[in-house]
Structure 1
């Protein structure tokens, strides 16, 4: 479903000589520059009644600008009353702690029961915001913090902050293998050549940068804190697998469970039964899209990861393993 957009303005003298896309971004600040550029290229912008399709065209001032376009909205999906763990909410944004097993957006095999369906119920009118205000995603089985825009201006601001790498996102994860020290992975990520549901480090992929530091070492596993500079699909999962330290329980990139030598049956069973990637979005920081105030939220790791770390710590204790 699409919502029609009709915008009109006269180019003021103070914008004389600027490019069309720059002028429209200033005149209609509720919409992102990338969206405005799409409208220009699609022939949906008129100057003094004539279609103009060159974003870089410079204007002389006094022109009448008219935009007749449309944006995709989410009304085609059903609102569903699903309990959300909301950490913060005002009239512009919503911060939530996503549980495991919650799909963010409807897709093949997931037409209902998603975060988007829940948002349509919780925030009346959010269907008028593209993708119901969802500006970034977490994988189905990744837990933790997400921000949702409740208005188009808020969405525009948050998308621009993401593109400028101004939103800070930190994660906790448990990976296979003992890592000696922290570091960074600066490797591009693209679609896997043969496995279409998977991503991989690809030289022709999009730039991706992940920083990580060691929080705790175990005999055959490591508890990490990670920070994203970019937001590629499956980024942490792919980068850790690239280092040969895939996340515990990762169904796509992790392979079989890797219990340490001599591990108890209870630990072996826990590793076998850990049915999701051990990844949690623990901290989120951003500038409020309206006030500009810098805001920060933290949520602790969920119980399944607490139990996993406790079991690994117990295994260390049973084998007299101590780490600095």
Structure 2
């Protein structure tokens, strides 16, 4: 990956959110306390790249705010519960043009982490195979969409999003590594004896102290280079914190969704049944109308047949009368001669 592509997402994030990085936004109290009657019109549909980068920036600032909230003595401490933290993320996204709800942000963040871990693990395996001359697969960024799908990898993870997530998880790992190193260094410093008071004896003690202090620094460099383990531990702890609030809300949403689906299915079944009944009734009416038309045709045909029979009978009677008249006329002429 080229150097401009590595710095593009981080530069975009710093360009858009330079001020919030130095001055974290206030706690999420504006939408719920100041204007409770104002309902937000959340955006639906797929996330854009700009919205995704805003969400990642919000999570980075939330991590920094939470990391500095424990040592701060002011009253504006970082919210403890997962719901309050995601509400803070929602408010930050709204201030920067990402009109998404806290549930949408939570779901999107989980999806991003899942896709990120898949791509990160694949790239690590591909790099190891290439280094071992085992002919590993191509890089994720050089594959087409169908090739990514065949390898069960996310098909639309942008390089900017991947680099921004790497930056966030590396910062988390660095903070956790620094806290662990400080906690491990505290008992060592307490166990060291105080330096002797005479001034001439101050020079010898620094030598054993420097010798004893030199071993701890070597383990520190690998910590930023291994964000995967620390990031997974962070996400595991965060997911365990979310288990106290999110499952109940999700179960409640699932119950509401299930009841609404049952009601919709009942209404749909009743509507279909009524349509079938009306269709059958209309079919019966059409059959009755057709039978009535056929009966009328039969009656009309019978009347015509009877009319023709009467006409034929009348013509026969008329011809018989004419024949009788002609015969009588001939008989009268014969007598007169």
**TM-score (ref. length: structure 1):** 0.20
Larger Rg: 1 or 2?
Answer: 2
Compare relative contact order (CA 8 Å, sep 6+) and give the higher one, 1 or 2.
2
> What TM-score do you get using the length of structure 2 for normalisation?
0.19
| Larger relative strand fraction | 1
Point out the structure with the larger helix share: 2
